[in-house]
Amino acid sequence: MLDLFIQKDLRWQNDSMALPIDRLGDLGCLVTCFANMTIATQKNPITPGLFNTLLKLNKGYLGLAQKDCPKNQESFMIYPVVEFLLNCKINFDIKYDFTDFHKTFYLGKFEYSNGVSHFVNITNCKPGKSQVEIYDVFFGKRSTCNKSDFKRIMEICFN
């Protein structure tokens, strides 16, 4: 079992995202989830801190790419930039069979009643089962949940 990154790691938790007040330790769950995929796909994994820097340099946050971006969306990621940086394809709203965790990875998005979203890595699933194993990048813990608990699932395919 691979050791995965957490967003609260002291090396990058205070790094700013699109806005100086947006910190990886608080809002960097998606950045960290994408960085975790590089552990299995690249010889030299990209840390959340480095991936965040690459996003900023390549205007990969909505607030850096659009001057009229709403303030509460400044640090939203621009997925084509992520695809370019990681050499991958991101698919939304497809039928998930969770069959190949070697070249295909999955992220789950929870949406809480207060409107806050949180992303986790989906690390395993048995075909036909409703339960998936997740890695929560905020707490650094693995657990299980139902596929139906996710607001959205993203499939990320690496070449």
Residue 118: beta bridge partners? 110
Give the span between the Cα atoms of 85 and 50, in whole angstroms.
Answer: 11
Looking at the chain, the whole-number percentage of residues with pLDDT higher than 70 is 90
Please give the pLDDT value at position 64: 82
Average of per-residue pLDDT values in the chain? 88
Give the span between the Cα atoms of 43 and 11, in whole angstroms.
Answer: 21
pTM for the full predicted model: 0.90
Q: What's the rounded mean pLDDT across residues 13-40?
A: 94
Please give the pLDDT value at position 94: 62
Please give the pLDDT value at position 104: 82
Which residue segments constitute the domains of the chain, with CATH numbers given?
Answer: 24-158 (3.90.70)
* Model pLDDT for residues 119-156, shown as the tens digit of each residue: 999 988 766 678 889 999 999 999 999 888 998 889 99
Give the span between the Cα atoms of 2 and 120, in whole angstroms.
Answer: 15
* Model pLDDT for residues 71-100, shown as the tens digit of each residue: 777 788 999 999 999 999 999 866 655 655
